[in-house]
Amino acid sequence: MRGLREIKALTVAGLALFPLVVAFDNITDYQTNFVFLEHVMSMDTTFPGNSLMYRAITSPMLHHLAYALIIAFEAATGLVLAWGAIALWRARRASPAEFAAAKRWTAIGGFLGFLVWFGGFVGDTIVWRDRKCTVLRDGRLQVGP
């Protein structure tokens, strides 16, 4: 199909935008999502008598370190995907083997994104049960009843 390579490159470019915007937002509005992460790691809003409290991490230094790592992985994901999009675009008229080789950066970027969103966040969500803090459907964070 004519144009399929261009579509692949532009799709990867679009995928790169999301983690770059998220990383930018987390840097420029640090406190908003940091508060959420702090509650998740401290488990301070979980149900009373929760038998999983041994997993709580209450060190502010570790909260900031974890958040910095998350932001770094988000930014790295976006940058590597952007590089992958550029590589695909440059190889769009190349041989099938050269185009396939250009996909390497897209695979690496996708893997980094997988680690961030399905490793870190899903792992936290599975073990954390909250009685006060809720992420609303529109993405806003509600703390309290």
**pTM above the 0.85 mark?**
no
Per residue in 36-72, pLDDT (tens digit) is 888 888 888 777 777 878 888 889 999 999 999 999 9
Model pLDDT, residue 142: 52
Question: Cβ contacts of residue 12 below 8 Å, gap of 6+?
Answer: 81, 84, 85, 88, 106, 109
Other C-beta atoms lying within 10 Å of the C-beta of residue 75: 18
Q: What 3 state SS string does 49-104 have?
A: CCCCHHHCCCCHHHHHHHHHHHHHHHHHHHHHHHHHHHHHHHCCCCCHHHHHHHCH
Per residue in 13-41, pLDDT (tens digit) is 999 999 999 999 999 999 988 988 888 88
Number of domain units in the chain? 1
Which burial class, exposed, middle or buried, applies to 96 when counting CB atoms under 10 A from its CB (0-12, 13-18, 19+)?
A: exposed
Model pLDDT, residue 124: 54
| In contact, 91 and 59? CB cutoff 8 Å | no
CA dihedral 137, 71, 113, 59 (to 10 degrees): -80
The values of phi and psi at residue 29, to 5°, are -130, 60
pLDDT band for 101, please (50, 70, 90 cuts). Answer: very high
Model pLDDT, residue 137: 47
Which amino acid belongs to residue 39? H
Q: Which domain holds residue 40?
A: 4-143
| In contact, 98 and 91? CB cutoff 8 Å | yes
Per residue in 110-143, pLDDT (tens digit) is 999 999 888 776 555 544 555 555 554 444 555 5
Model pLDDT, residue 114: 93
